[in-house]
Amino acid sequence: MKKRTFIYSAAACTLLALCGTAQAQTTPIKFQLDWRFEGPAALFLTPAAKGYFKDAKLDVTIDAGNGSGGAVTRVASGSYDMGFADLAALMEFHANNPDAPNKPVAVMMVYNNTPASVMALKKSGIRKPADLNGKKLGAPVFDAGRRAFPIFQKANGIGPVNWTAMDPPLRETMLARGDIDAITGFTFTSLLNLEARGVKAEDVVVLPYADFGVKLYGNVIIATPKLIKENPAAVKAFLAAFTKGARDVVNKPEAAIADVKARDGIINTALETRRLKLAIDTVINSPDAHAEGFGQINPGRLSLMASQVSDAFNTKTRVSPEAVWNGSFLPSKADLDAVLPAARK
């Protein structure tokens, strides 16, 4: 009798151990950012630091990036499971690589408006888009604002302009020196970089694409078709944990910067706090985001963007909006709406 009890007990312990192991299992997710560990990276670093991904049984590794194009190609290669990239870059990849076996898919909208803008010094005399006619503009060749400039140009009736290419660190330096008349770039990146080079904010003219007839979406969370097919629960869990963290970041950006500082100790806390707040105010907590809902898209607007990107980027095939977007893994509307304050401040 005692022997049988021992056998039953051993079997029970084994079963409990197996159940415990199953419960403890986590899904590894390699995540590629679009850029360095700057203020906006808090959107992902905060949910990681607070254990929201861990609570969702995800082991998320977050790496810095060097541009949206790179983020898209790395996720497409399978080196990363998910990433953060400009939707236009994702659309371009789809249209130029129609036969690629692992084209990433956007699963959540984060920057409801493109952060791209044209920036010039007031002393240049540039005050409005029409003033850019014949001017010398500068930006890296892969810059999102430069790639989308034909859309901005068409929307505002701007004539021909002359482009100068440079590496990213030289863009704001060349504008400050007067080597070029204007630049394109993400507002929350270039404006603060100009200040770091001794240019006062009040001496800069900013022409945001979103304020001048260009309703392009900005950055989205992307995922591999493999992950979506084989582990849709992980995608859903990631977006739920991210949404919880995004709410914390939007409501307390000053606190969230500590999570960026913990990842990159050499950042300027005050500067990156301003960068994060600027990103929140211009592309996350925007009127369009309130109208459409955080994380979500307007199908008509998505289709228009697909057409505009096809034309402006001269892609090999036309962009299919249905192929680049899958909103079926989003959290509930109540959870998404909770990210943004009741009214834009």
Task: Report how far apart, in Å, the C-alpha atoms of 310 and of each of 31, 89, 148, 292 are.
Answer: 27, 11, 11, 24
Record the pTM: 0.90
pLDDT at residue 6 greater than cutoff 50: no
Residue 178, both tokens: 């007067």
**What residues have CB less than 8 Å from 10, skipping those under 6 apart?**
none
Predicted confidence (pLDDT) at residue 32 exceeds the cutoff of 50:
yes
Mean pLDDT of all residues in 269-276: 95
The ranges assigned to domains in the chain are: 27-112+217-337, 116-211
For the cut 70, the answer to whether the pLDDT of residue 77 exceeds it is yes
For 116-211, give the CATH class. alpha beta
pLDDT for 51 equals 98
Average pLDDT over residues 80-90: 97
pLDDT at position 256 is 98
Assess whether pLDDT exceeds 50 at residue 221: yes
- State how far the Cα of 213 lies from the Cα of 235, in Å rounded to an integer: 34
- Is-contact 166 174, C-beta < 8 A? yes
pLDDT number for residue 341: 87
Q: Do domains 27-112+217-337 and 116-211 have the same CATH topology?
A: yes
Per-residue pLDDT at 229 exceeds 90: yes
Q: What is the mean predicted confidence (pLDDT) over 14-24?
A: 50
- The two tokens of residue 41 are 């990276």
Strand runs labelled E in the chain: 27-32, 58-63, 82-86, 105-109, 116-121, 136-138, 162-164, 182-186, 204-208, 219-223
Q: DSSP letter at 114?
A: -
Query: What does the pLDDT average to over 262-270?
Result: 95
Mean pLDDT, rounded, for 184-189: 94
Domain over 27-112+217-337 is classified CATH 3.40.190.10: yes
Name beta bridge partners: 198: none
